[in-house]
Structure 1
Amino acid sequence: MTSHRKEKASVFKRITRRQWIRSGAVVAAAALLVTGGFVSRDFYKTNVNRTNTSTISAYSATKSDEVDQFQAASRGELRDDIKAGRRGADANTSYVKVVVNGNSRVVLGENFTDVKSVLQQGGITLEPEDTVSPALNTKVNESTTITIERAGSTIETSEKAIPFNTVEKKTDALPEGTKKVQEEGEKGIMEMTNLVTKAGGKIAESNTISSWVKKAPKSKVILIGTGSTQSESTGSTQSESTGSSNSTGSSDASNLGTTVPASEMQKWTHDYLLANGYTEADFSATVYIINHESGWDPTATNPSSGAYGLPQSLPGSKMASAGADWQTNYQTQIKWFLSYCNERYGSVTGAYNYWLSNHSY
């Protein structure tokens, strides 16, 4: 399956508990942040009475049985990505497996020395009741597994829909001014892993500690006629030109069409691209990649690799080069994404072409 710096938080920082929760159950919460992330109580704690739960920008935990099935393969793929320098990774990027209450996750970082350094770079906050194995001063490498036992919390998964986009493509196979739906759109699925604490049988806190694209959305494609007469010979779709320019000139990118923004985040991205010399094809390529990488969730975290944010950077802290607010600011993340695509692939559409062939970039 498939990155990013603020003041460091102490790994022994204690989370203040409300008195009404004390009487019902012991509250345990994990602040699971990307490398060197900022920790604050309001950032990772959510009262059950609030409408929306908070999101923890963190390296994810997921069900142990699921992790065990792909852990070896995922580590191999992650090491390949690191060696190849994909998503901003470099030779200093490393990873360590951490298991919290039987649920595995990957912590990405640089220059790990001991267990404590892994927890610090992963932004993992320990409570006094937690037990950690091996000891905090134990040296680590990529074969190390750190185990943390924390009472009072369980891991639960949930899903939410990822909206699909509408893409318009020009074709001379249809009379000018006519439209035809070539493909219907389909929503994607974002799976979230939540750290849940209950008191008296009711949810006291629910915090999202990972979210990743389980199924990418499929765009609705509408053909826009530019021809003088309609072709009666076939109802099948041929390769129509979009009329959009692109920086690579390749056949793959030439048919990207004009993508309609599906959110305020996408609208800002569209306007930013066009204001800075990019094309409609570049925007379509950006939407396609990010739909598949993160579902446009700025705190998306891959459960097996620890890749983070809209562009799924490895590690997330690489995006600090675009701004100190890289953890939550989608604009900063988009700017890093564009810079990365231009540097590595020569253009956004170049990254798109590579993604089509490799399902990675």
Structure 2
Amino acid sequence: MASHRKEKAFILKRITRRQWIRLGAGAAAAALLITGGFVSRDFYTSNTNRTNTSSITSYSATKSDEVDQFQAASRGDARADIKAGLRGADANTSYVKVVINGNSRVVLGENFTDVKSVLDQGNITLEPDDSVSPSLTTKVNESTVITIDRAGSSIETVEKAIAFNTVEKKTDALPSGTKKVQEEGEKGIMQMTNLVTKAGGKVTSSNTLSAWVKKAPKSKVILIGTGSTQADSSSSSSSSSSSSSSSTGSSNLGTTVPASDMQKWAHDYLLANGYSEADFSATVYIINHESGWDPTATNPSSGAYGLPQALPGSKMSSAGADWQTNYQTQLKWFLSYCNERYGSVQGAYNYWLANHNY
């Protein structure tokens, strides 16, 4: 006997063509999210440079909490320095974060209009095959993040030594004509992050993205005796301890021996323009800690630039159009800034000792 009931159609056959399309699109999106998470995991790494603040040394593109923390830290450092008016910054100073092949830095400047203006003020030169997001004509603000990818290039971090200085300090705790090493000198460390491009295993270009003082050099301190008689051992020990304590303040900055041609020029320039040996010692101390005497030092976190770590570096244009590379122009701006803000170089030195910035 034949059955007159309709056959039950398989459920998938009832789905319309439009519904099939929607299901396919949803599955594809889910697949992209899953694979994207694996591909981007641990993609970004960054080294930060503020020695007096805690900061994140690396972060993953898939860990939004770490990304937010890193961005908040770097932008917070920049905004705090700008608000405080440090190193020439003022209310017109702005900043934008730039990520180059995964390495982050903050670019400071004035009158940012679009992406191109940020790259120009940050001295970032694009190559023909570079990928930039957003586009060069996109308007920017302080929440903008500019990403640059350069094919065939990688980020490399290297360290180089910062020479230490020898400082001579007079003391009547030692007989006249005698010397005593109070503290041994120690070299500092400059950390540099470079964008390196290679072809056939050979380096074709290397651009420094950031350079900062990882460890400041420690000066060698030599006591020069000025006493008229030989002090006994207990008195000498006590006086030496007192001298050591006073050496941390500007009351006993001593005479600093230049450790490079750059410092020799700075020394001669200061003395020729009415400054003292103590002023030069204060100058050496500040710049040793700020930039390690690297005229192109660029702080990736705050965006500060040059020997005095001006915020932004373009502030130094008031001392000369060659402010980006000329250490003499940068030092002249440094002296002017210290005099205007702190009354003297030694005033800036005292402030630095108390606040670790100036």
Are residue 240 (structure 1) and residue 237 (structure 2) matched?
A: no
Instruction: Name the residue aligned to 2:276.
Output: 279
Q: Does 1:328 align with 2:331?
A: no
Which residue identity lines up with residue 197 of structure 2 in the other structure? T
Structure 1 gap ranges (5+): 1-60, 244-249
Read off the aligned partner of 1:230 and give its amino acid letter: A
CA contact (8 A) 1:71 1:304 kept: no
Which residue of structure 1 lines up, in the alignment, with residue 57 of structure 2? Answer: 66
SS of corresponding position for 1:239: helix
Please identify, of 122-131 and 85-94, the stretch whose mean Cα deviation from structure 2 is larger.
122-131
Inter-partner Cα distance in structure 2 for 1:256 and 1:107? 35
**Inter-CA distance 176–123: structure 2 relative to 1 (3 Å threshold):** closer
- For 1:185 and 1:70, the matched residues in 2 are separated by 35
Residue 87 of structure 2 aligns with which residue?
A: 87
Residue 172 of structure 1, CA deviation:
1.0
Instruction: Assess if the C-alpha contact under 8 Å between 1:173 and 1:231 holds in 2.
Output: no
CA distance in 2, matches of 1:270, 1:124: 33
After TM superposition, the structure 1 = structure 2 runs for residues 31-50 of structure 1, keeping only pairs within 5 Å, are none
CA 1:200/1:63 → structure 2, altered by over 3 Å: closer, same or farther?
Answer: farther
Measured against aligned partners, the alpha-carbon deviations of 1:296-320 in whole angstroms (never above 9, x if no partner) come to 1111111211111110001111111
Corresponding residue for residue 155 of structure 1 = 155
- Normalized against structure 1, the TM-score is what? 0.77
2: distance between equivalents of 1:199 and 1:251? 51
Within 5 A, what are the aligned runs for 1:20-35?
none
Moved more, 135-144 or 208-217: 135-144
* 1:119 maps to amino acid: L
Paired residue type of 1:254:
S
C-alpha distance in structure 2 between counterparts of 1:356 and 1:310, whole Å? 18
Q: How does 1:278-317 map to 2 (within 5 A)?
A: 278-317=275-314
Distance 2:319 2:291 in 1: 19
User: Which SS does the other structure have where 2:324 is aligned?
Assistant: coil
Change (3 A) 1:307 1:262: same
Structure 2 counterpart of 1:28: none
Does residue 112 (structure 1) correspond to residue 115 (structure 2)? The answer is no
Moved more, 231-240 or 274-283: 231-240
Post-superposition Cα deviations, 1:165-199, rounded to whole Å, max 9, x if no partner, equal: 00011111111111110000000011111121111
Give the corresponding residue for 1:269.
Answer: 266
Residue-by-residue CA offset, 1:218-274 (whole Å, 9 max, x unaligned): 000001111122232153533339x9xxxxxx9821111111111111111111111
- Secondary structure of the equivalent of 2:177? coil
Amino acid at match of 2:286: I
Cα distance per residue 1:98-133 (max 9 Å; x no partner) = 111111111111122222322232233333432222
Q: SS of the counterpart of 1:287?
A: helix
Q: 3-state SS of the aligned residue for 1:307?
A: coil
1:355 aligns with 2:352: yes
Q: 1:67 to 1:269 in 2, by over 3 A?
A: farther
How many residues in Structure 1 have an aligned counterpart in Structure 2?
Answer: 295
Look up the match of 2:64. Answer: none
Q: What is the correspondence of 1:169-180 to structure 2 with a 5 Å cutoff?
A: 169-180=169-180
My pick for the range that moved more, 216-225 or 139-148, is 139-148
Other-structure match for 2:253: 256
- Render the CA deviation track for 1:317-361: whole Å, top value 9, x for unaligned: 111111111111111111100000000000000000000000000
For residues 66-85 of structure 1, what are the alpha-carbon distances to aligned partners after superposition, in whole Å with 9 as ceiling and x for unaligned?
Answer: 26575422321221111111
Distance 2:157 2:192 in 1: 6
Aligned to 2:204: 204
Contact 2:74–2:106 under 8 Å retained in 1 = no
Give 2:82's aligned amino acid.
Answer: I
C-alpha separation between the residues in 2 aligned to 1:253 and 1:63? 33
**SS of 1:229 mapped into structure 2:** coil
Structure 2 segments unaligned to the other structure (5+ residues): 1-44, 49-55, 60-68
Alignment RMSD: 2.3
Matched, 1:231 2:239: no
Residue of structure 2 in register with 1:136 after alignment: 136
Q: Distance in 1 between matches of 2:106 and 2:248?
A: 38
CA distance in 2, matches of 1:146, 1:223: 53
Q: Compared with structure 1, are the counterparts of its residues 83 and 291 closer, same or farther at alpha carbon in structure 2 (3 Å cutoff)?
A: same
Residue identity over aligned pairs, in percent, reads: 82
Q: Which residue of 2 aligns with 1:195?
A: 195
- In 1, distance between residues paired with 2:102 and 2:207? 17
2:51 is aligned to none
Q: What is the CA–CA distance in structure 2 between the aligned matches of 1:149 and 1:251, rounded to whole Å?
A: 46
Distance in 2 between residues matched to 1:127 and 1:263, nearest whole Å: 35
Answer whether contact 2:168 2:256 (CA < 8 A) is retained: yes
Question: Which whole-Å CA distance do the structure 2 matches of 1:251 and 1:100 have between them?
Answer: 40
Structure 2 residue 146 is the aligned partner of structure 1 residue 146: yes
